[in-house]
């Protein structure tokens, strides 16, 4: 009885870690693209240059006036993670370049 909730919790934490890692990698890919092209990349621009962890879908990337936002949602766990660069935050992220995630109304922020 105790093992099942612990296993579920462990899987949820692993999913959040993978999503945050994918978003950190996206920050790097976007900054590399910007350095070469003087503009941020659309998902089409990143095709082949950026991939996500197994089990994750590609993030939704939106270009803004001075940067971009990206959100990634796990269908299996209902968790949503986001990251942004520029002056337009993407909830739950509140710090530029730092992925943050929500789960059932709670917020987990990566420093």
Percent of the chain at pLDDT > 90 equals 65
User: Which neighbouring-strand residues pair with 101?
Assistant: 81, 108
Residue 13 has pLDDT above 80, yes or no: yes
pTM of the predicted structure, to 2 decimals: 0.83
d(CA 68, CA 35): 15
Q: Which stretches of the chain are DSSP H helices?
A: 3-37
Q: Which domain holds residue 74?
A: 3-109
Q: Are strands 100-103 and 80-85 parallel, antiparallel or unpaired?
A: antiparallel
Does 71 sit behind a cis peptide bond, omega within 30 degrees of 0 on the bond before it?
Answer: no
Q: Would you give the DSSP letter of residue 79?
A: -
Q: In the structure, what pLDDT confidence band is assigned to residue 45 with cuts at 50, 70 and 90?
A: very high
Number of domains in the chain: 1
């Amino acid at each position: 009885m105790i093992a099942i909730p612990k296993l579920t919790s462990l899987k949820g934490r692993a999913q959040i870690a993978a999503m945050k890692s994918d978003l950190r990698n996206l920050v790097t890919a976007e900054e590399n693209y910007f350095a070469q092209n003087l503009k941020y990349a659309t998902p089409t621009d990143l095709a082949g240059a950026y991939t996500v962890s197994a089990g994750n879908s590609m993030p939704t990337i939106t270009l803004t006036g001075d940067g971009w936002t990206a959100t990634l949602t796990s269908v299996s766990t209902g968790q949503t993670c986001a990251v942004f660069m520029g002056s337009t935050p993407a909830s739950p992220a509140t710090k530029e370049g730092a992925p943050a995630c929500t789960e059932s109304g709670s917020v987990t922020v990566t420093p």
